[in-house]
Structures are given as structure tokens and as C-alpha cells.
Structure 1
């Protein structure tokens, strides 16, 4: 067989004695596990003999995979049929009677009863998805037993083809549960567990006695501002006894805290030990140069309280939620990779960040950034050719970017790390070189597809090795008042000392809008008299949930794509159901003459697409029609980026935002104005960065 590089080709030519058969690469990967089983795909000799025929190993693997998949499908089918039978049983008997009948009459194990009994209540309408995913009983049991929020996230991951097991369900459940705790509660729980684990060597009773006594002691002094009271004989005596108990549990030899990572258990123990020593000596105030304000708690006392496993009581004086960005000297510094047309950049600017650098390879997108923000430091270059180590000296707060999504999108070949456009490992390198306090990278849902699981795991391991606690989150554009069905994956990492304070921003379902209200003014600008009627129909159009029932009203735009030519059939059908012609990129809004033609549906101008992506109406895109369509389709909606930016800002600076006021400033005073026309520049003029006359799209 002819040797062909797997990286460079998408087809494999199989030569036989009588004919030549073309086999598509995806089919090859399905039949012959390749890299999924550790067998290099670039070595086809392992699968073919000298005459171009499959060898016995390849045939065995292909046959085994086919049989196993069939058996998995059969097992899933039987599980779902069993659940359906139990549902019918519950229609005529009580739950208690059904459980007893299944256990005694049908010999169903007690450990399986709740799964079948609760299935219809918690997973009704998801049968097709579960069948397609070939779900096993252990995974189904975990799915039925978890909370609603965890179940919804797991089902969403399964819909995009992600592989899910019981371990992942448990991890997601823990992440979502921890997200509901305050940072203090999270730290207290972690350090409380540390104290209990260490004390277990000498007995649970001793550990409980120590924590109870420590809690009672700290509760007396935690909120006091009376220095005389802290150095009283009673306090010093109790501190001495607690120090001796502490040393019996944790030892007396602790490294200085400045030599330890601030988020490590060893650091917390070192601080707690110092606190007891200084309390015993009456020298806590001013120790190590720490003198808290009257409205602050001493950090060493906080460390002591954490060891009790109980959260600190809230301050009597509540923090004021901020409603505007900080002054320039208090803004956080950000380096943005693959900045595109500036969607994420606008959002971070609104969230109180100052751009140190924006790196963008595409000349049209770089020109767009310079045109709208002349003061930004835009670097038009490939991030693979840039050494970022020197930037570490600038003490960067955030590294972010929208790394290329084509290796993971439905429009691409789904090659993942095999796609030369994949830059995830470069993202890891940049973070390792700059060492920011936090990072956030955006991508499409396909990033979580099962075929990329090994690559994603490797990426997360590398980030963690670089010193970050990392998690994957999903955001829906509609939850932030954007009239578009746009789901995005965010990989967010923070240094250990900040990770416990980060909270993913919650959505604003009451702010949900629709494509009609979002575009009605732009649709009517060129004389189309039916624009308001079209918008009203979109506002009243029902939306359906997974179970086929009406979930609400108000049509959302389908995901804005980069293409401006003929759409795919499914894409055209999705847009057509919302009475929108997605083909092409018209220069102007519809006219009355166009609307009078039979079968008329309005098409979207570039400005309309930009509005659906949440770009401000005065944002000017540079380049021709295709360049403009690419920039808009690849962008991160600014309000989504702003929400994440504010959440990271809050974690790094310990501030509280009035999130809604920040995301929708001066809403009550909003003035409706005509949107400007988009500026286009000829491709060969962009490199010179000269102003050109603005032309209509």
C-alpha cells in the first residue's frame, strides 16, 4: 500500500486486486481505533498486508468494536424498556407497592429500585439522547440520583457527544455544590477537613474537643477591636494551652509562611501556629507588620477559625456592591490572544481591565481593533512566533483569548489536536511564560466531544502543573440578554490563592430577549413596512424544550456563522423557521419592493449580525464582506466576556459587583439612534493602515 501521512490527508486509498476503494478518514477511525487505542494512525502497515488487504489484527479490532457497540446498545435498550415498564406499573399501584413487587416478585436488587422508580420523574423525554449515548446502568443511576443542575449539565454534554462516566458526574456535582458556598465557607470546609484528618491519628474525640475549644476561643476575640482585651491574662493562658494541643496534633516545627504557597495546607498550619504563639505572648497586634483596619479581621485569626471547620460569621458591615468600573490606576492588566474583532476586548474593557497587548494574526481583524481603539497595543502576529517571557515582568492579572475553534466545530473536520490550527498547547505555553493571576480561554461545545477527551485532559494537566486550579464552564448567550442560541465553553484557571474566591456569573433569565425586538429598528430602516409585524411574530413565537413541550416564547437567532454564501440545508431550515433568509450578506435592510415578492423572508446585513453578537452599533469592521462576516461570526459577545471578566476581577481584588447594573448601565436612559454603516477597506490597503473612504456594505 502507498504510504500517506495521516496529518496531511483526509482519505485513505485501499488497494485490492480488482478495484480501488476510497475510505473516508472518519470511517477509518471508526473501524480501526487508531490513536484511541494507542495504535499510531500514521502507521497503516499495522492494518494492511503487502497486497493491500486487512491483516488479522485489524479485522479482530474492527469486529470486536462492532460487537461491543451492539451489546452496549442492547443493554441501554433493555434498561430503558425496564424503566418504561416500571412507569406503567406506577400508574396502578403506589410507589411502596411497586418497590416491594419489584424486589420480591421480580428479584430486582434493592440498589436498582430507586433508579427505575425515579427515571420518569427525572429523565422523561431524554430517552433518545440516552440511547444514542449508549448509557450504562451505573451512569444512569448516578444521573437519576444527582441534583437538577448537575443533571442538566450532564445531558448538555451528552448532546454534543461528550463521554460521561460516574467519576465525571461526581466531579461536576461537587463543582456546582462548591460554587454555591461563599469563599469563606469553602476554605473553612477544606481546612476543617485537614484538622480532622490530622487529629484522627489520636482519635476523633480529641479532634472534636480541640476544634470545639478553638472555636469557642476564636469566637470571643474574632470581632474585637480592643487590643487590651486580646493581651489579657485569660486570653494568653487559653492561647498557650491551645498551642500545646495544636502541636500535639500538627507538630511544633513549621516552615515560615513566606516560604509556602498561600493556598497550601502547610501555609494555613504555619499561620495558625504563629497566631497562637503571638496570642500567648500578647504580641499579635503588629506582628509581621500586620495591623488590620477596624473593619477587617486579622488574617491569622481567620486561619485559626478555618481550622475549626466552621465558617466565619458575616461582617456586621456589609460590602457595598460596586456599580461602575474602577479608575484607570486600579484597572487590571490583561494580555489577549487571538483577539479577533474585539468582542472579548470590549467586554473586558467594560469590566475594568486595561489591555497591555492584543495579539491577532488576521490583518482585517487587527485593522478593526486599531480603527476602533487607536490607543490599544495591537500586535499583528502569530502567537507561535512570540516569546512572552518578558511580559512576566509587567505583573499581568489575566491572559485570555478565543483560541481557534475550527478544530472542534461542526463546520470543521473535527481533527482536534491533529488540526494545524489548534493552539491550545500554545495557550498553555503563554500562560506558563506570563504567569498571570488568572486565565480564560473560549471555545465551542465540540471541544468537549468524546474524541478529544485525551487532548483536553492533557491540556488541563499542563495548566495545573503550571500552578492553576482549572475548571470548564458553559455559558449561554441568551442568559445574558443576547438574542442568539450561542453556547460557549470557557476554560478558566486561577492561581491557587485566588481559586476559592471565584464564582461563575449567574445568568439573568428575566433579561431574555428575542430576535424581533433586537433587530426591529434595523429591519425598518430601508422602508420595509412589515418590520414591526415580523418582529411581533418573532416575539410571540413559541420555543420548545427537549420533551417537545412549549418552554417559553420569543425566537432566538441561530448561532451566527462566519459563512456568507449558500448555507447548509439544516442551517437554512433553522433560520427559515424564524422567518429569516440566512443566505448571503445583503448591503441594505429590506425594501418595500423586496418584501412584496412571493415567499419573501428578510436577510441579515452585517450590522444586524453584529447586533445579534452584541457589538455596539458604532463598532466599525475593516475588510471586505467575507472578512467582516468572519470577524462577526468568530467573536465572543461582549456582554458574556464582561460578565466573566467581572467575576474574575471580584476573585482577584475581593470586591462585590452589582452585576446587573454593570452589564446594563444607564438602561433607563437609553436613546434609540440609527446604526452607522459599516466601513469596508480593500484588502491591499489594509497593510498600509491608511484611512480610506467609507463604503456601503
Structure 2
């Protein structure tokens, strides 16, 4: 079968996964997204693609018109499976992974890729749902396996682990897991540390890097300590300090307020020799600092939209639509573009090599 590299994008969000698939040489014909702001962002950056801004359950018949595309890909909402959420199997969003397969059944692509949280692949709690998903895929004629990937190994400066269910139709390869794993490994590329990634954007508040989150950073009066300065909870709110000499933790969709991670701006741009939070953490541990409720020094400030977007590996000229809070949500919800590109290339190469 000749591969023309056409695709349907589901649960598209702002288009992070689409950027990666397009960079891999896959032409997205139609996309579907429910959130209006994300759909507008998608249309602004992907004008050649048809965007259907509606509940996916309302557009299954419309998407069926694209029967014969080579790929279906997307990341259904994961809150129902996430360890950061309530992990409720009855969450309506948990059922959308099967809606994804409903589209696959209709359009019969050569391959599909579904992204979700690591827990769906690893936790015993979700084993019955995971097995049901794989069994349905098999009945539809696909050999499908979950591959858990760490974004830092694929040129993304973020400790974000996700599962990709990769299914290939009419696939009798008994070494499928081995072959696909090898192809994914071939796409690995070490990510730059945060300091090197963000440095050229310049300090927050400039034209190139507007200061888009002004939520105060305050000290917790009852800090929960950990060995690492970047792992404890000694600031109020769920936003944590980022180790700019390493990688960011997973950027959450709840960014925009005090859940937005923060950096030491003076250390990021070389005005200081050490990250301020290291000394504060040390003082808390040795008892020379007594925690009290007050604002942190102004050199600590929240990630900007531009910085969060770059950590998620969106192109610098990517245009986000909506209010600031909605933009942060779009960025946090996205599949990192570079990670998506690696998965797309590996899937394409598998089809070309082992078909």
C-alpha cells in the first residue's frame, strides 16, 4: 500500500501534536477540538486544515467522510486517568479513548497514535480499561501496544512522561514491540537545559518576552521539605520553582495563576551566581531561616506564555488565541511538538520498513 501521509487529528487542542506530525511529513486534512479558544488557535496556525469546533460525538459521521486516510492521531482528555486528578473511571472524559477508536473503526487508517497519561499504561487500577482498549483495537484489525516515553529524551526540556498507543493495521509482525521500540529509540535527542532553552528570550517584561503572569509568590508557613530544593512544598500554591540547570516538571493545564511554575530571573540571566531557592532551602533545612508568610523576592517570577510555549517546543512564531488563562491552559494541555514529531517519524518508518 502506498502511503500518502494524510491524517485526521482528534482532540487537537492548540495543535501541538499536529505541529510534530506535520514536521514528520504528514498532511492533516481535518481536525476536531471542543474548546473554542484552542480551535481558534489551531485555525490561526493551520489555515490549510479544516477545523471542526464541536463535541466529537456530534461529528463522527462528518469525520467518516475521510475514510482511507493514512493516520488518525490525538490525545483524548486524560483527567479521568491522571494521578494528579481524581482518577475516576466514570469520568465522562475517560470514555473518550473509546470514542477515538470509534473514529478509527469508521475511517480505517493505516495506523493510529493515541496519547495519554502514563498511568493509563502502568497502573493496575486501569488494567481492565487498558486491556479493553487493546482488545477493541485488535478486533478492528490493528496490532496495538502502549509505549511510555519521557519527553526529555526527545528534545523537550520537560520531565513529562506520556503513553502513546500506536496501532498498525493488518500487522502480523511478531517482533512489533521490538521493532517499534528501536525506531523510537532512533528518534531520541537530548534536550537542552532550561537555562540554555530560554536565555535568548530575555527578561520578562520585554517586547520579546511579555510578563504574562503576575500571581504573587509567597512562602509557606508550614513547608513540606524534600532533599531537592525543587521537590518540596515551601511556597504557597501549586506552582513550583524550576531548576534551570535541568528540566522543568510537567507544565500543567492549570497554569495562569499561582499554579504557574517560576524561575529565578537573576540566575537565569547571569546576574546571580546561584539560584535563590537553593539558599532558602538550605536555610530551612539547617534552621537558620524561620518560615513565615510573606512575599518572595521579586527576582522569583512566574513563567511567561512565551517561555511555557518554548518548553512545550511550539515554534516561536506560533500564535495563541484567547485570554491569558486560556492560553496557558492550551499550552499545558498540548503534546510537546518535538515528542509528537519523534513518534510520527517512528510510526512512518515502521510502516515503510515492515509493511
TM-score above 0.5, yes or no: yes
Quick one: structure 1 residues 390 and 449, their matched pair in 2 at CA, closer, same or farther if it must change by over 3 Å? closer
Alignment check: 8 A CA contact 1:388 1:434 kept: no
Computed over aligned residues only, the root mean square deviation of the Cα atoms, in angstroms, reads 3.2
Is residue 559 of structure 1 aligned with residue 244 of structure 2? no
Which position in structure 1 is the counterpart of 2:279? none
Is residue 511 of structure 1 aligned with residue 202 of structure 2? no
Shift of 1:438: 0.7
Rounded Cα–Cα distance in structure 1 between residues aligned with 2:25 and 2:249: 30
Which position in structure 2 is the counterpart of 1:84? none
Q: Which runs of 5+ in 2 are unaligned?
A: 207-227, 231-243, 277-295
Q: For 1:629, which of 320, 324, 328 is the aligned residue?
A: 328
Is residue 408 of structure 1 aligned with residue 81 of structure 2? yes
Alignment check: 8 A CA contact 2:70 2:110 kept: yes
Q: For 1:489, which of 142, 158, 163 is the aligned residue?
A: 163
Shift of 1:565: 2.1
Quick one: structure 1 residues 389 and 362, their matched pair in 2 at CA, closer, same or farther if it must change by over 3 Å? closer
Rounded Cα–Cα distance in structure 2 between residues aligned with 1:363 and 1:390: 19
Rounded Cα–Cα distance in structure 2 between residues aligned with 1:508 and 1:398: 19
Which position in structure 2 is the counterpart of 1:454? 128
Alignment check: 8 A CA contact 2:187 2:346 kept: no
Q: For 1:520, which of 194, 199, 208 is the aligned residue?
A: 199
Q: For 1:442, which of 106, 115, 118 is the aligned residue?
A: 115
Provide, for residues 587-631 of structure 1, a one-character-per-residue CA deviation record: whole Å limited to 9, x for no partner: xx99x9xx9x84631321011000000000100110101110110
Provide, for residues 374-406 of structure 1, a one-character-per-residue CA deviation record: whole Å limited to 9, x for no partner: 111111111112234873664111111011011
Shift of 1:652: 2.3
Rounded Cα–Cα distance in structure 2 between residues aligned with 1:393 and 1:363: 23
Rounded Cα–Cα distance in structure 2 between residues aligned with 1:495 and 1:483: 33
Rounded Cα–Cα distance in structure 1 between residues aligned with 2:343 and 2:157: 19
Q: For 1:608, which of 307, 313, 331 is the aligned residue?
A: 307
Is residue 339 of structure 1 aligned with residue 12 of structure 2? yes
SS of residue matched to 2:134: helix
Alignment check: 8 A CA contact 2:146 2:163 kept: yes
Provide, for residues 622-675 of structure 1, a one-character-per-residue CA deviation record: whole Å limited to 9, x for no partner: 0101110110001011111111111111222339xxxxxxxxxxxxxxxxxxxx
Quick one: structure 1 residues 509 and 652, their matched pair in 2 at CA, closer, same or farther if it must change by over 3 Å? closer
Alignment check: 8 A CA contact 2:154 2:189 kept: no
Provide, for residues 4-55 of structure 1, a one-character-per-residue CA deviation record: whole Å limited to 9, x for no partner: xxxxxxxxxxxxxxxxxxxxxxxxxxxxxxxxxxxxxxxxxxxxxxxxxxxx
Alignment check: 8 A CA contact 1:331 1:352 kept: no
Rounded Cα–Cα distance in structure 1 between residues aligned with 2:171 and 2:187: 29
Rounded Cα–Cα distance in structure 1 between residues aligned with 2:197 and 2:50: 32
Which position in structure 1 is the counterpart of 2:58? 385
Which position in structure 1 is the counterpart of 2:223? none
Higher relative contact order (CA 8 A, sep 6+): 2
Quick one: structure 1 residues 428 and 524, their matched pair in 2 at CA, closer, same or farther if it must change by over 3 Å? same
Provide, for residues 295-354 of structure 1, a one-character-per-residue CA deviation record: whole Å limited to 9, x for no partner: xxxxxxxxxxxxxxxxxxxxxxxxxxxxxxxxxx97411111100000010111111111
- The alignment of Structure 1 onto Structure 2 pairs a total of residues equal to 287
Rounded Cα–Cα distance in structure 1 between residues aligned with 2:51 and 2:128: 34
Give the number of the structure whose residues are more often helix, by fraction.
1
Alignment check: 8 A CA contact 1:498 1:651 kept: no
Q: For 1:396, which of 69, 80, 87 is the aligned residue?
A: 69
- Bigger Rg over Cα: 1
Q: TM-score, normalised by structure 2?
A: 0.73
SS of residue matched to 2:310: helix
Quick one: structure 1 residues 498 and 389, their matched pair in 2 at CA, closer, same or farther if it must change by over 3 Å? farther
Alignment check: 8 A CA contact 2:143 2:171 kept: no
